[in-house]
Amino acid sequence: MRMDLRAWLLAEHGDLRMMFERTVLRSLPADLLTARPGGVGNSICWLVWHLARVEDVAIHAVVRGGPTVLASGGWGHRMGYDDARIGTGFSDVDVEAFGRAVDPKAVDDYWQTVRAATAAWLAAVPLDALDVVPDFDARLAALPPIVPKEAEWLFAFWRGRPAGFFLRMPVIDVSLTVRRAEREQDAVLQEDEVAAGTQEAGRLRDPAIRIAPDAGPVLGERQVEARIAKGNVLGVALDERESKPVSLL
């Protein structure tokens, strides 16, 4: 019997959101959400913005063929960072500029608005529609640039994928981001403790598990996508039928 991908996605997103609130938002001061441990890598706020942007573009523009939540809701202005890109291929300069400009609370609100829009659509769409392959090139052409030139390898990976693929991708991305945010939180809190001169800093969890300084600002999306490309990343057969390249209604 084929698993209902819609129900699984809705439940999984809810669980991951609760995990993020419990392990990150409730224990990290708001002013540290944009901090980059050691001045390198990604801040927690950037990670949240990145995964929200990927979901917004992949689901609402590529799959549904409509406007993104960012564009329709004026979220660029509301977040203080009006950039249509999704974060893949960002440089250290880009990530630093993001942290100086953005409102972390608005970023989280944007993420939740994207999630709500995805959930509302997913609850109403027929299950068979998740097998449909959207016209990626036509829908990409209708958007402003979403990645810099050096990151256009992403297009070849997205092209020809069914709608269900794009819906699974944010779940894996969110799961990895929550875990990455937990590691970033440990590193940020330790630096804050050291800066305050506290003697308790050594009791924090081992900062060696944080993102390495030489890892760069990009989220490691190739690793996420490699897992998705294996097909059965969830341990269940979510796509049993052959997908056909037709337009998604």
| Residue range 8-30: mean pLDDT, rounded | 79
Least confident of 13-17, 114-118, 119-123, 230-234: 230-234
CATH topology of domain 5-229: Four Helix Bundle (Hemerythrin (Met), subunit A) (1.20.120)
Which pLDDT score is estimated for 202? Answer: 37
Neighbours of 127 (CB within 10 A): 12
Distance CA 51, CA 138 (A): 23
Tell me the pLDDT tens digit for each residue of 40-96. 888 989 989 998 999 999 999 999 999 999 999 999 999 999 999 999 999 999 999
Q: Is the pLDDT of residue 177 over 70?
A: no
- The pLDDT of residue 100: 94
Q: Is the dihedral of CA 227, 228, 234, 235 positive or negative?
A: negative
N- to C-terminal Cα distance for the chain? Answer: 25
In 3D space, the residue among 99, 138, 110 whose CA is nearest the CA of residue 53 turns out to be 110
Average pLDDT in the chain: 75
Euclidean distance between CA atoms 61 and 117, whole angstroms: 12
Dist CA 181 CA 218 (whole Å): 14
Domain parsing of the chain, residue ranges: 5-229
- For residue 3, the model assigns a pLDDT of 57
pTM for this model (two decimals): 0.71
| Structure-derived torsion over alpha carbons of residues 65, 94, 153, 220, reported in degrees to the nearest 10 | -100
Nearest alpha carbon to residue 95 among 131, 59, 46, 48: 46
- For 203, the 3-state DSSP assignment is helix
DSSP character for 150?
A: G
- Determine contact, residues 24/108, Cβ cutoff 8 Å: no
The pLDDT, as a whole number, for residue 201 is 38
Q: Which two tokens stand for residue 168?
A: 């699974």
pLDDT of amino acid 245: 35
Rounded to whole angstroms, how far apart are CA atoms 110 and 75?
Answer: 7
